[in-house]
Amino acid sequence: MEQQQPLENASPNILLAQQIARQLLEHGLIAADNLAFFVRRLAEGQLREADWRAALSSLSQKAMPLP
C-alpha cells in the first residue's frame, strides 16, 4: 500500500476519506487492495463509478455464494 500523508499534515478531505475507507473496510464493503488509491481519489472528489465497481467486484469474486 502507498504511504499516506502523516495525520498532522493531512487535509480535512484526506482525514475524512481515510475515515470513510476505514469504516467501509471494517464492514467488508471494500477490499484492502489499492486502499491508498481509493482514499486519494475519494479525497480529491475524483472517484468514478468504475473505481467503485472495481472495489466491489474484487469482493464479490472472493465472496462465497449463499446457500
Query: For each of the chain's 67 residues, which pLDDT tens digit applies?
Result: 444 445 568 899 999 999 999 998 898 888 888 788 889 999 999 989 888 777 776 666 665 555 5
CA–CA separation, 35 and 2 (whole Å):
8
Q: Does the model's pTM come out above 0.85?
A: no
Q: Residue 56: in which H helix or E strand, if any?
A: helix 49-62
**How far is CA 1 from each of CA 32, 33, 37, 67, rounded to the nearest angstrom?**
9, 8, 9, 34
**Domain residue spans in the chain?**
11-61
Cell of 11: 487535509
